[in-house]
Amino acid sequence: MSENAGRPIPIATAVTEPYWEGCRRGQLLLQRCTACGSSQFYPRTLCSSCGADTLEWVPASGAGEVAAYTVVRRAITPAFAERVPYVVAIVRLAEGPQLMSHIVDCEPEAVRVGAGVQVGFEDLDGEASLPVFRLTN
């Protein structure tokens, strides 16, 4: 059985499809407003800063830092049982937006607020890819 068996698979909408396509290609995409220049995550139809509908998709650097985190020691569903303990974090991207993700391939005790991270992608049995982050220092 796959280690991903039973994990929820993201369902793309018309607004989020470019984002999920980027993840499948190993590219983290953000929306950038061509009117005011601000970047945003999660995907929306309007700019959260100025309300314009002139949003374009741009690749993020994938670099960021841990803004907050918690260590999950009891899986909330059997699909995550093999992963405990694991780190769920709010990552602040270099471009400004924040997203919730996992910090992987490290001991949970190594994670600190302010630690540098870089994006990677976790394949969900070919059905989708999710951004995850690894410590860089």
User: Which residue ranges make up the site for Zn ion (CB under 5 A)?
Assistant: 33, 35-36, 47, 49-50, 52
Closer of 26 and 51 to Zn ion (Cβ): 51
Task: List C-alpha distances in Å: 63 to 26, 33, 49, 76, 107.
Answer: 14, 20, 22, 29, 20
Q: Give min distance, CB of 2 to Zn ion, in A.
A: 41
1's CB contacts (< 8 A; 6+ apart) are none
Output 52 or 58, the one with its CB closest to Zn ion.
52
Whole-number minimum distance, CB 36 to Zn ion, in Å?
A: 3
Provide, rounded to whole angstroms, the least separation between the CB of residue 42 and Zn ion.
15
CB nearer to Zn ion: pick between 43 and 131 = 43
Type of residue at 130: L
Peptide bond between residue 69 and the one before it cis (omega within 30 degrees of 0): no
